[in-house]
Structure 1
Amino acid sequence: MARPSVPDPKPQRGRPRDPARGRRILEAAQKHFNAHGLERASVDAIAADAGVSKMTVYSNFGSKEGLFHAVVRDRTAMVMAGVADAGALDPHQPEQALAAIGARFLALSRGEDALGALRSVYGVAGAQPEVCLGLYQEGPERVNRELAAYLRLAHAAGTLKVGNPLQAADLFLSMFMGSGHIRGLLKLELPDARENKALLREAVRVFMAAYGA
């Protein structure tokens, strides 16, 4: 059964006509969502920090949920910069490609922007399924699809043997979502650079042992 797509919150007006003003709103919203969560974040406070009126926020983003979706899309674009455009990665060099993808994903998934977005939606899980599904589709699902696209190319090139690219992509990315990620969600001390480097190296080794041609 096809999964229903997430409808945009109404009214949805699209991107702000003034890019600089839109950037200020998004940055202010990210800060407040991280600090207070989706439910407790105040549109009045976000507007004040961005130097705009509350009506300006609503006229550009439709609702607080629409603003949250826009923040998620904006931050996801940073993750996608590291894994998007599968054609730019060499399918004949899977170890190097996986190391580059893994390093980018690890750094950004441990960043406060990504962790803050997750903390924000955990508080409304069940109560606002569209918001939660929107975060999932814009974040983890999208990254997984892009990595799967690369794995298909590597499979076609004969450098990997991947029968189920989406599952293999999910397994690879999941290796970075263990105890260190949980520590970040709980605002505990994050792993240091040495631990992250060791995790990345082992994740690539395990993946290649399972899927190497």
Structure 2
Amino acid sequence: MARPPVSDSKPQRGRPRDPERGRRILEAAQKHFNEHGLERASVDAIAADAGVSKMTVYSNFGSKEGLFHAVVRDKTVAVMAGVAGAGELDPNQPEQALLAIGARFLELSRGEDALGALRSVYGVAGAQPEVCQGLYKEGPERVNGELAAYLRLAHAAGTLKVRNPLQAADLFLSMFMGSGHIRGLLKLKMPDSRENKALLHEAVRVFMAAFGT
């Protein structure tokens, strides 16, 4: 697709930005990227849906790839912001803490915002390494690190015995990324609340059996 005649694909610096206009652009872009993927999404259509000119999109985001990166960053930050940090959890009550973390992670990871971002990024894996790295850093790496920080506190408190907190955190979160998650990515019927609750309690039981004192 032909781009407007700009000499630099990077966003122009020093220009005042309208937060409401930026929000409209990101929302329109997410819709089009979710429906069409990066390659087939049209900047013209995104601009029209957002009620701005195509030049406005390019002046704020530099390129279609820059806009895609901004959408991924915006959604992954919003999704992962709901996962509690280590400082908010009681290291003396690991079972309750894991139930809370698992419930929130399960809810967020199966939400359409997270699933839509993953579907979009899978379509450009390899071709857009910076976009993929951004999603990984703001999503899985961030929440895994926060859970590992809690596990270190619980280990120090003597309520869990965790030799490798990052590995243990990865194992716990991986228990929620099975068939239900795949069904969500494929836009198939998702597990109901009863199935999710059963998965949550079994995941915590297995983790406590492996790492409890």
TM exceeding 0.5: yes
Query: What amino acid maps onto 2:10 in structure 1?
Result: P
> Is the counterpart of residue 111 in structure 1 residue 94 in structure 2?
no
Letter in structure 2 aligned against 1:188 = L
Q: Which moved more, 1:72-81 or 1:26-35?
A: 72-81
SS in 1 for 2:127: coil
TM-score (norm 2): 0.88
Structure 1: distance between partners of 2:90 and 2:196: 24
The alignment partner of 2:77 has SS state of: helix
Q: Secondary structure at the match of 1:23?
A: helix
SS of the residue corresponding to residue 81 of structure 2 reads: helix
Instruction: Note if contact 2:148-2:168 (Cα within 8 Å) is conserved in structure 1.
Output: yes
- The answer to whether the Cα contact below 8 Å between 1:79 and 1:143 also exists between their aligned partners in 2 is no
Give the Å deviation of 1:211.
1.1
Name the CA distance, whole Å, in 1 between partners of 2:86 and 2:145.
10
Offset of 1:194 from its aligned partner?
Answer: 0.6
Structure 2: runs of 5 or more not aligned: 1-8
Counterparts of 1:1-213 in structure 2, within 5 Å, are: 11-12=10-11, 17-213=17-213
Equivalent pairs counted in the alignment come to: 204
Measure how far apart 1:199 and its partner are: 0.5
Tell me, yes or no, if the aligned pair for 1:38 and 1:68 is still in contact at 8 Å: yes
Q: Tell whether the 8 Å contact from 1:72 to 1:139 is kept in structure 2 after alignment.
A: no
C-alpha deviations, 1:106-159, integer Å up to 9, x for none? 111111111111111222222222222222222111211111111112112221
- How far the C-alpha of 1:77 sits from its partner, in A, is 2.3
Greater shift in the superposed pair: 43-52 or 200-209: 43-52
In structure 2, what is the Cα distance between the partners aligned to 1:44 and 1:179?
37
What is the distance in 2 between the residues matched to 1:23 and 1:203?
37
**Aligned partner of residue 76 in structure 1, secondary structure:** helix
Mapped partners of 2:91, 2:128: distance in 1: 40
Displacement of 1:16 in angstroms is 7.5
Query: Structure 1 pair 43/171, CA: closer, same or farther in 2 (3 Å)?
Result: same
* Equivalent residue number for residue 5 of structure 1: none
* Identity score, percent: 88
Alpha-carbon separation, structure 1, partners of 2:104 and 2:167: 20
For the 8 Å contact 1:79–1:104, the answer to whether it is kept is no
RMSD over aligned CA atoms reads: 1.9
**Unaligned stretches of 5+ residues in structure 1:** 1-9
Distance, in Å, in 2 between the alignment partners of 1:155 and 1:12 is: 46
Judge conservation of contact 2:76–2:117 (CA < 8 Å) in 1. no
The list of structure 1 runs, each at least 4 consecutive aligned residues, that deviate by more than 4 angstroms after superposition, is 12-16
Closer, same or farther: CA 81–124 of 1 in aligned 2, 3 Å: closer
| Secondary structure in structure 2 of the residue aligned to 1:83 | coil
Shift of 1:206: 0.8
CA shift at 1:179, angstroms? 0.4
Which SS does the other structure have where 1:70 is aligned?
A: helix
Distance (Å, rounded) in 2 between the aligned partners of 1:67 and 1:156:
43
